[in-house]
Amino acid sequence: MTQPKTDDRRILRTRRTLTAALLSLLSERGWDELSVQDICDRADIGRSTFYAHFQNKEELLASGFNHLREALQQKSTSDGSEPLVRFRFVGGLLDHLYENRSVFRAIVGRRSGHVVQTRFRELVLQLVASDLEKVGSSKWRRDATAHFLAGALFELLAWAVDSDSARSARDVEALFQRYAESCSAYCASGVRRT
């Protein structure tokens, strides 16, 4: 059940409240322990209201990730006055994760459940793949590069948020950009190495 875009403040407020309830419960209990009723109780919203917006907790989760993806893509879109910078979304994603460390730890941790990790990995892959669409390369090479970089980014994000290294989001972003630049260049080159 894909929700139509709406500007109705009540609908947006209800969805934000449900998403906030889901995220707070996710960091406390883990994915598999949550029910729609738990989310409704935390949000102080009736089940009928929940089901007017979402079919299940998976759809609520997907909606939250879709909203995050759209916000990151919008923030990273160049207006043409700046030079093209690949993977501009990484800085915003890192800022978001650093601000919400406990939630992200729950997402990538053992208690998150396969569904949550899969959805987050899909989000990262969609962002990377979208950025690589303009690379002049064969489709299989772009797809392979997108999967490679998305996997690397996912692991780098998990490490950065969970490690005791106290690296800033900008340090981690610069590291990823450096790795991704060489990988993207190789993808675009089409050069075969044996």
pLDDT digits (tens, 9 = 90+) for 78-111: 555 555 678 889 999 999 988 888 888 877 766 6
Sketch the domain layout of the chain as residue ranges: 9-189
Encode pLDDT of 146-192 as tens digits. 999 999 999 999 888 877 667 889 999 999 999 998 887 777 776 45
CATH of domain 9-189: 1.10.357.10
Residue type, 185: A
In this prediction, residue 62 carries a pLDDT of: 93
Reference 86, options 184, 193, 187; nearest CA is: 184
